[in-house]
Structure 1
Amino acid sequence: MGIKEAVIYLDNQFNTYYAGQTINGRIEYVFDSPKKVRGIHVKFKGEAHTEWRESKEQQSSDGKTENTDEVHTGNEEYFQISYYLLGSNTGNEIEVPAGKQVYSFTCALPPVLPSSFEGEFGYVRYTVKVTLDRPWKFDQETKMAFTVINALDLNLNPSYREPIRMQLEKTFCCFCCASPPMSVDIQAPVSGYCPGQVIPLSVDIENKSNVQLHLVKLFLRKVVTYRATSPSTATKKCKEVVLTVQEGPAPAGSTKHWDMRLEIPPIPPSNLVNCSIIDLDYDLKVECVVSGMHMNLKERKYVTIGTVPLAGAPPSAPPAPAPAPAPAPASPGQPAVLPLGPGEIAQPNGPPAGDAAGGWLLPGAGPAAPHQALYPTLSMPVYKESTYTARTIQDRGDGPHTRVAGAAGFAPFYPTYAAVQPPPLPQ
């Protein structure tokens, strides 16, 4: 006997917000009998956490060498907002009637927050937890995660408009005689992109050598540095391939030209501004695989992933703080998405229809982005789910009776711009 159902709903279909926006939501309980509670409590929290294990050798008292695992951790909290929706922690017991009961809540996010991030050895995560505070019994908690985006406008830094160019050249020696060089020239039009866009790459090969170039491999890599503060200061750097393309071969004495494309998936923006325990960068790496016992040619350049794509002209002023999400008009077959006002109870939203590319796109259904007033001609982003999923959103502060929304784990949503492509390569 107890809670038959406890579900948290937020006021946009992607559970995605920009730093500085206001979250409105509600929790819906279904009780199979009246319940006595001290109160119902909501807590919003934003934090970063890093954790990994390293094997460490140490000598035991009998002189033998033993391997032990040392756990490195780091924590950083950005905000915590909590209050009671019903009752208080010091008041008298309240009887909640059986059946469906709905309680609304709201939270204004701080204007400066790092973007949501889920990685192998750490995360930046934002959660809301509603607790049924029961006297003399275990509290019953319902928890869900949501996405926060710190807008990275590529138009505000002129360096993101600079092209990328990698030039590799090598001569090969055989019996003390050097061959003519093999030259590889790779270009991309700009160095700043957004998810959904395609990085167009021009590859020119002039192979005057007597060695065959088997493959030209191009990688977009995520470079993450995790930092720990306990039991001592430590760092762990990971390089992960996000996507790759390749072409080849270029035989000895030949010239080749290839146009290659890297379509950027939904990934978090570069830098993770205001997070001091996780650094996030992206680079473009090239590897030219050659025949024989010769060393491959390698080079890399950093690329920036933003949340606002390059527009025709840079803005004259930085973005204004984001407004609260506006009411969304209903599409055929879909309920309207309405912010909750004081004392209002909205009806639950069903899942939106998927578009052909696998994203969700309804007019006005996404969060109001800070850049929309600056770039009125820029198309609305499509919010898509990242492939990087949290194994669990439970943490050390959760009790034994915490219900977590979503059995398959949490993955952040990021804005994508397939309809806004970067400038073409110069001819």
Structure 2
Amino acid sequence: MSSKVTFAFDNNPLGVYHAGQVISGTAELTTDRPKTIRSIFITINGYGETRWQESVEKPGDDGKTTKSMETHTSTEIYYSSDKYVYGQSGGSQLELPKGKFVFPFHTTIPPNAPTSFNGSHGQIKHEVTLTIDRSVRYNNIFKQCFTVILPHDLNTKRENAQPLKRIEEKSFWWGSIFGANKPMVMDVSTSYSGYVPGQKIHFHLVLDNQSDVQCQDVKVRLLKNVTYRANSTNKEQLKSTESRIADMHCGEVVKHNKAQFDEYLLVPPTTPTTVGERDPIRVSYTLRFIAKTFRLHGGGDLVVDFPVTIGTLPLLGSGEDKGPGQTASSNGSVNSYPGAPIFQEDVSDEQFESSTFKPRYPVYTFGQPGNAANGAPAATPSLYPRAEDTPPVAPLPYAPNPVTPVAKPTAPGPQKIPPYPTNSPAPVPAAAPGGGHFEVLGFSIPPGYQPTPSAPGAAPPAGIGWK
């Protein structure tokens, strides 16, 4: 290893910011041998890109149709700032001695910067890059991604607080064979049209199966719909995908029977619904209810779809939601909030080409202790991540480069003085043997823990088993 760079964000160990905030931190460069360079500069930028291939048919010179692969791509830069922390652009060669050096960085994220995203055909990425410009050899480039979230307050639109309700029915040709063609009827409703990650989508569903077809299962799914936009041959191209991010099974409903389900679907950490109309990547969501039937019976499944909005700030009073038609608890307040969110990685496994970065999105812990003190309503959460919302971490142990008087130049033109190495961080003391907690496969075992004695081999299992 000739060079290594460690990035650290000031008072923000998770690297999560909202559009409009100031991002600052340090880049710690470690080299194990001297380098001949021209400059070192740090870039902070945000950009979006899409790319995919499709098979197209085109007429050939001989009049016959031929198939070929066509690539659709687009790139859009939202902001970019460069700062030379050592040397200058196009400067003369400099000697960078081996050692450890720390360079600060900071910039303001534009207030309309889009939310970070990583998908199968595109990405919206925000990153810090340190580049060592070398005159003879290839440049050394080091990157660190961070998450940017464009705030989406669900309270700004009334339709987000409106309940969803619909009644759909479906008939099957299987019943008409025997002279009875009664339908399967689904009546479904929710409390709201807008939710945030960590919130439960409570729903009320009644399936009246008057038909001669058995419903194998009633499924509820939250689907993420992504539309990618690109330009190719002076024509806009679109690519749409649909993926399931939450799923539950309510159960079967046999023919000539009726069943009611009052359940909920938990919204996982996921990208907020896109606000901009011309973004190269647009994200929307569909809440789907499915009454699954046998294909042999004909007609397909009974499906009810609702468009839902996923935001970053919940609706007022939505933390007291118990389901459509049910009243909130008497000690709840319609103005209460669930408290400040935590930030968790995107639940989606999709990624754009070789990009493995997972953005973090706000997740609210509805109904869990610690959101309010002594039973009082929790304070209104901030639209922006704060240092107290994340676990504290030890500060980066470094000292600034000392300022040394510049020697009198012996030749015309500015002289470059290489950065001085910083103090080496103090070694971390090793934990005392046998003391404190220790981790075994992710479980924390307290000190003094004694395992439960095993039962004799001939002892009966005493009714213990799987439920």
Structure 2 gaps, min length 5: 319-334, 369-467
**What are the superposed Cα offsets for residues 57-105 of structure 1, whole Å, 9 maximum, x if unpaired?**
2344456543211001122211111121122114343333321111111
- Following the alignment from structure 1 to structure 2, what is the Cα–Cα distance between the partners of residues 215 and 201? 16
In 2 relative to 1, CA 81–420 (structure 1 residues): closer, same or farther, beyond 3 Å? farther
Gaps of 5+ in 1: 314-374, 395-407, 422-427
- Give yes or no for the alignment of 1:157 onto 2:172: no
Quote the offset at 1:182 in angstroms: 2.5
1:303 match: 308
Partner of 1:174 in structure 2?
176
Secondary structure of the equivalent of 1:46? strand
With structure 1 as the length reference, what TM-score do the two structures score?
0.75
Moved more, 189-198 or 83-92: 83-92
Superposed, 1:22-421 pairs within 5 Å as 22-61=22-61, 65-172=65-172, 173-175=175-177, 177-231=179-233, 232-273=235-276, 276-291=279-294, 292-312=297-317, 378-388=338-348, 409-419=356-366
- Which stretch shows the higher mean deviation, 115-124 or 134-143? 134-143
Bigger relative CO (Cα 8 Å, ≥ 6 apart)? 1
- TM-score normalised by length of structure 2: 0.69
Distance (whole Å) between structure 1 residues aligned to residue 226 and residue 180 of structure 2: 40
Amino acid at match of 1:302: P
Q: Deviations over 1:22-68 (max 9, x none)?
A: 11111111122333322211111111111110012234445654321
Give the match for residue 355 of structure 1: none
Q: Cα–Cα, structure 1 residues 63 and 170, in superposed 2: closer, same or farther, change >3 Å?
A: closer
Amino acid at match of 2:236: T
SS in 2 for 1:249: strand
CA contact (8 A) 1:182 1:208 kept: yes
Pair 1:163–1:392, CA change in 2 (3 A): closer
* Pairs aligned (count): 346
Cα deviation, residue 307, structure 1:
0.6
1:176 Cα deviation from its structure 2 partner: 8.4
- For residues 349 and 299 of structure 2, the distance between their equivalents in structure 1, rounded to whole angstroms, comes to 40
CA contact (8 A) 2:74 2:229 kept: yes
1:179-235 CA deviation, whole Å, 9 max, x = no partner? 344321112111111111121122112223333222212111111111111233211
**Identical columns (%):** 33
Whole-Å separation in 2 of the counterparts to 1:273 and 1:287: 31
Pair 204,124 (structure 1): closer, same or farther in 2 beyond 3 Å: same
Q: 1:389·1:409 contact (CA, 8 Å) conserved in 2? A: no
Contact 2:19 2:150 survives alignment (8 Å)? yes
Change (3 A) 1:235 1:381: same
Deviation, structure 1 residue 274:
6.4
